[in-house]
Chains A and B, each alone.
Chain A
Amino acid sequence: EVQLVESGGGLVKPGGSLRLSCAASGFTFSSYSMNWVRQAPGKGLEWVSSISSSGSSIYYADSVKGRFTISRDNAKNLLYLQMNSLRAEDTAVYYCAGATVTTSPFDDWGQGTLVTVSS
């Protein structure tokens, strides 16, 4: 059974940093593209970033480019999102999601971790 478990969310002040993790199990992590999608409270889904299976291809939404960094450790089956210079508008539940390749939809999702940016 595919499992994706996010962690690392919490309360952070504007301008602060946070690193999210996503632990994967039940599938061959190193063969899958991985993604981060966020959802602000009461709002819709917003794609944040994607990384190919090898990590060689990376994509970001304009809203986070230059502030967020996606990475992965295939030996540990972990996906990361390093978030710097956080703003109030980054407040959201952050989901990690797996896809067969970067050109695929998001097959499997974690339950999400809440990031709150507030002073």
Chain B
Amino acid sequence: EIVMTQSPATLSVSPGERATLSCRASQSVSSNLAWYQQKPGQAPRLLIYGASTRATGIPARFSGSGSGTEFTLTISSLQSEDFAVYYCQQYNNWPRTFGQGTRLEI
């Protein structure tokens, strides 16, 4: 099983600042890496797939990078609605696995 490790667990930032979230895979997942956003009481929402492609309707301030085992989600200028929990997920191997999440807070 591929273990996905996200860091930091919690990131405290201010609106307008840049946020950088990391995700590491225990073995290569190529570019088969997705990022999801989850707000309290809501279902997750797909943000990024293929490590760097924004899903439909996702603002350009969200960007993803990386391949192999190291990945980054960057939010260039935080808006109030971006404060949420972010999960990475590999879909290269079975079982599909998620990181433990990074909570983005003010």
Query: Contact residues of A with B, CB < 8 Å?
Result: 35, 37, 44-47, 50, 59, 61-62, 95, 103-112
Contacts and interface: CB of A to CB of B under 8 A. Distances in A.
A42 to B, nearest CB: 11
Given A44-B100, A47-B98, A61-B95, A106 B87 contact: no
16 contacts: A37-B44, A44-B101, A45-B36, A46-B98, A47-B95, A47-B98, A50-B96, A95-B44, A103-B32, A104-B91, A105-B49, A106-B34, A106-B89, A109-B43, A109-B44, A110-B43
Contacts of A62: 95
Question: Closest 4 interchain pairs by CB?
Answer: A105-B34, A109-B43, A47-B96, A45-B98
Given A105-B49, A111-B43, 15 more contacts: A44-B87, A45-B89, A45-B98, A47-B95, A47-B98, A59-B94, A59-B95, A95-B44, A103-B91, A104-B49, A106-B34, A107-B46, A107-B55, A110-B43, A112-B43
Contacts of B42: 111
Interface of B: 32, 34, 36, 38, 42-46, 49, 55, 87, 89, 91, 94-101
B48 to A, nearest CB: 9
B94 A44 contact: no
B69 to A, nearest CB: 18
B46 A106 contact: yes
Contacts of B100: 44
A26 to B, nearest CB: 14
Contacts of B98: 44-47
B29 to A, nearest CB: 12
B4 to A, nearest CB: 10
Contacts of B45: 109
Given A106-B34, A106-B46, A45 B87 contact: yes
